[in-house]
C-alpha cells in the first residue's frame, strides 16, 4: 500500500489515523454552517486514496445477473438528469471514543464529528440501472438478482489487499424516492479525491459505510455482498457479545442509522463565565425520518427544555421539486441559558417516528463501537 500520493488536507482536521487517513473537524466547524464545507467534512478511508488521471477513459462495469455486461463512462452519467440531494453522511463509528471509555472497543477513535451534511450532485442510481435494462422498482431480476454490489478502486488490508465493497437491496437501488445517487459533485464542486473522485455512491439515511467511493464496478447479485465490511464489520451486537464468543452470521449488516444528536458549541474542558451559555449542535435520523424535537437539560437529565431547530428549506441551485428534499439532512439546534454553577448539559433528539436516543452508553455498548447514539453530555465548569 502506497501513501505517498495523498491529497492535501485542511490543517485543522483532527487526525485519528494517518495511514489510512481518518480525520474529523473540530466540533465548532460543524455548526458554523448548515452545509459542511468539503475541507471540514470528515474523511474515512481504509486504504490509500486512488488516483484517476484520465477522466475520459474512466469507466465502471456492470456485471452479474444481467443479460449483458456493460461498461459505462462519465459521459453516460453526465448525460442523465442531474439531481442534487442534501444528505447527511455519518460514519457508524461516530462517537466511538466515548463508547470505548466505558469499556474498550476495537476501531478508529472518533469524537462527535464523523458526520457532515453535503449537497451531493449526480445521477440517480435508479436511472443508471435503467441504462442496463433494469426497470424502476425492481425487487428481483429475471435471473434472480436482488442486490446491487458496489466495488471500489481502492485496496484495503481488511479485504486482504482487495477493494472496499458493499451492497444495498435492488428494491432500494431502483426506487427513485430513495434518492440513491452516483455522485460526481459535492457542494456544487467536482467531487475531490478524498471523497470519491470521480464517482461515488451516496445512500441517504444509511450508515456511511455503504456509500462506496471510487466506483470500479457494480454487480447485480442474488445474496448481499459477502465482503468484510458487510459481513465482519458494521454489525450491531448486544453488550454480552465479545471477541471470544462472536458469531458474525447471527446479525445483519447495519443499514439505516438511528436517531442521533450532539452538542458542538461546548467541550468537556470548557470553563465558562457565569451568564449566557449557547448550546448548539446537530440532530439527524436515518431512513428519511426527520427530527421532531431536540431536548436540552442543564441538570444531567432531570429537567428538559426544547431547543429551537434550523433546517434550510431548499437551496436555490437545487433544481428539485421534491417537497421533502431535506428529509435526508440534519437539523442544527440551538438553545440559550443562564448558568451560574457547574452543569452537566445533555442533549437528546426525537425523530418523526418518536424514536428517542438511549440514556446510557453502557446499554448499547458493542464490541466494534458502532452507533453510539446515547444522550450527549458535556460537563461545563463555571469560573470567573
Q: Which one, 44 or 348, has the nearer CB to ligand MTE?
A: 44
Q: Give the three-state DSSP class for 153.
A: coil
Does the protein bind Mo ion through residue 201 (CB under 5 A)? no
Of 127, 76, 73, 35, whose CA–CA distance to 318 is shortest? 35
**Chosen from Mo ion, ligand MTE, none, partner binding at 46 (C-beta under 5 to 8 Å by type):** ligand MTE
Contacts of 160 (CB under 8 A, 6+ apart): none
Does the protein bind Mo ion through residue 115 (CB under 5 A)? no
Shortest separation between residue 188's beta carbon and ligand MTE, angstroms: 16
- CA 282 to CA 211: how far, in whole Å? 21
Other residues' Cβ atoms within 10 Å of the Cβ of residue 68: 8
β-strands 215-221, 59-64 pairing: parallel
Question: How many residues in total does the chain contain?
Answer: 384
Residue 47 is given by DSSP the state: S
Shortest separation between residue 47's beta carbon and ligand MTE, angstroms: 6
- CA 265 to CA 279: how far, in whole Å? 6
- CA 82 to CA 181: how far, in whole Å? 10
Q: Which one, 199 or 307, has the nearer CB to ligand MTE?
A: 199
Shortest separation between residue 156's beta carbon and ligand MTE, angstroms: 6
Does the protein bind Mo ion through residue 208 (CB under 5 A)? yes
144: left (phi over 0), alpha (psi -120 to 50) or beta: left
Shortest separation between residue 49's beta carbon and Mo ion, angstroms: 16
Binding site for ligand MTE (CB under 6 A): 41-46, 89, 91, 152, 154, 164, 195, 208-209, 211-214
Shortest separation between residue 177's beta carbon and ligand MTE, angstroms: 23
Shortest separation between residue 94's beta carbon and Mo ion, angstroms: 8
Q: For residue 223, which phi and psi values (nearest 5 degrees)?
A: -110, 160
**Chosen from Mo ion, ligand MTE, none, partner binding at 77 (C-beta under 5 to 8 Å by type):** none
> Which residues in 36-55 contact Mo ion (CB under 5 A)?
44
Please give the C-alpha separations between residue 302 and each of 343, 345, 365, in angstroms, as whole numbers.
Answer: 12, 11, 23
CA 196 to chain centre: 14
**Chosen from ligand MTE, Mo ion, none, partner binding at 42 (C-beta under 5 to 8 Å by type):** ligand MTE
Q: Which one, 48 or 107, has the nearer CB to Mo ion?
A: 107
**Chosen from Mo ion, ligand MTE, none, partner binding at 152 (C-beta under 5 to 8 Å by type):** ligand MTE
Mask for 79-98, x = binds Mo ion (CB under 5 A): ------------x-------
**Chosen from ligand MTE, Mo ion, none, partner binding at 195 (C-beta under 5 to 8 Å by type):** ligand MTE
Q: Which one, 46 or 146, has the nearer CB to ligand MTE?
A: 46
Q: Which one, 42 or 333, has the nearer CB to ligand MTE?
A: 42
Shortest separation between residue 260's beta carbon and ligand MTE, angstroms: 14
Contact 259, 349 (CB under 8 A): yes
Does the protein bind Mo ion through residue 345 (CB under 5 A)? no
Q: State the Cα angle at 117 between 112 and 119, rounded to 5°.
A: 165
Q: Which one, 34 or 150, has the nearer CB to ligand MTE?
A: 150
- CA 248 to CA 9: how far, in whole Å? 36
Q: Which one, 91 or 259, has the nearer CB to ligand MTE?
A: 91
Q: For residue 97, which phi and psi values (nearest 5 degrees)?
A: -55, -40
Does the protein bind Mo ion through residue 209 (CB under 5 A)? yes
Shortest separation between residue 152's beta carbon and ligand MTE, angstroms: 3
Shortest separation between residue 112's beta carbon and ligand MTE, angstroms: 14
Contact 116, 87 (CB under 8 A): no
Q: Which one, 46 or 376, has the nearer CB to Mo ion?
A: 46
232: left (phi over 0), alpha (psi -120 to 50) or beta: alpha
Residue nearest to ligand MTE (CB): 208
Contacts of 3 (CB under 8 A, 6+ apart): 18, 19, 20, 21, 48
Binding interface with Mo ion (CB under 5 A): 44, 91, 208-209
Amino acid at each position: 500500500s502506497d501513501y505517498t500520493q495523498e491529497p492535501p488536507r485542511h490543517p485543522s482536521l483532527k487526525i485519528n489515523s494517518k495511514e489510512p487517513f481518518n480525520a474529523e473537524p473540530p466540533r465548532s466547524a460543524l455548526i458554523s454552517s448548515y452545509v459542511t464545507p468539503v475541507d471540514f467534512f470528515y474523511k474515512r478511508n481504509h486504504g490509500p486514496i486512488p488516483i484517476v488521471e484520465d477522466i475520459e477513459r474512466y469507466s465502471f462495469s456492470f456485471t452479474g445477473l444481467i443479460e449483458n455486461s456493460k461498461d459505462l463512462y462519465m459521459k453516460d452519467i453526465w448525460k442523465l438528469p442531474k439531481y442534487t440531494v442534501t444528505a447527511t453522511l455519518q460514519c457508524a463509528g461516530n462517537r466511538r471514543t466515548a463508547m470505548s471509555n466505558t469499556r474498550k472497543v476495537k476501531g478508529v477513535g472518533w469524537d462527535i464529528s464523523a458526520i457532515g451534511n453535503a449537497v451531493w450532485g449526480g445521477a440517480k442510481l435508479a436511472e443508471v440501472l435503467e441504462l442496463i435494462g433494469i426497470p424502476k422498482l425492481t425487487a428481483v431480476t429475471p435471473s434472480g438478482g436482488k442486490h446491487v454490489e458496489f466495488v471500489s478502486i481502492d485496496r484495503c488490508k481488511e479485504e486482504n489487499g482487495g477493494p472496499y465493497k458493499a451492497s444495498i437491496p435492488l428494491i432500494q437501488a431502483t426506487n427513485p424516492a430513495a434518492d440513491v445517487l452516483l455522485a460526481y459533485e459535492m457542494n456544487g464542486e467536482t467531487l475531490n479525491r478524498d471523497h470519491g473522485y470521480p464517482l461515488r455512491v451516496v445512500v441517504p439515511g444509511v450508515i456511511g459505510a455503504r456509500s462506496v467511493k471510487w466506483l470500479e464496478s457494480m454487480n447485480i447479485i442474488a445474496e448481499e455482498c459477502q465482503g468484510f465490511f458487510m459481513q465482519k464489520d458494521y454489525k450491531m451486537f448486544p453488550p454480552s457479545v465479545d471477541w471470544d464468543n462472536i458469531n458474525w452470521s447471527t446479525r445483519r449488516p447495519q443499514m439505516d442509522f438511528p436517531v442521533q444528536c450532539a452538542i458542538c458549541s461546548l467541550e468537556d474542558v470548557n470553563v465558562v463565565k457565569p451568564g449566557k451559555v449557547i448550546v448548539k449542535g446537530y440532530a439527524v435520523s436515518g431512513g428519511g425520518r426527520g427530527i421532531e424535537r431536540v431536548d436540552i437539560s442543564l441538570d444531567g437529565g432531570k429537567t428538559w427544555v426544547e431547543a429551537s431547530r434550523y433546517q434550510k428549506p431548499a437551496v436555490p441551485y437545487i433544481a428539485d421539486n421534491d417537497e421533502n428534499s431535506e428529509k435526508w439532512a440534519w437539523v442544527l439546534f440551538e438553545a440559550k441559558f443562564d448558568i451560574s454553577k457547574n452543569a452537566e448539559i445533555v442533549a437528546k433528539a426525537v425523530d418523526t417516528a418518536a424514536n428517542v436516543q438511549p440514556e446510557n452508553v453502557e446499554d448499547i455498548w458493542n464490541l466494534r463501537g458502532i452507533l453510539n447514539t446515547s444522550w450527549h453530555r458535556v460537563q461545563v465548569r463555571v469560573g470567573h
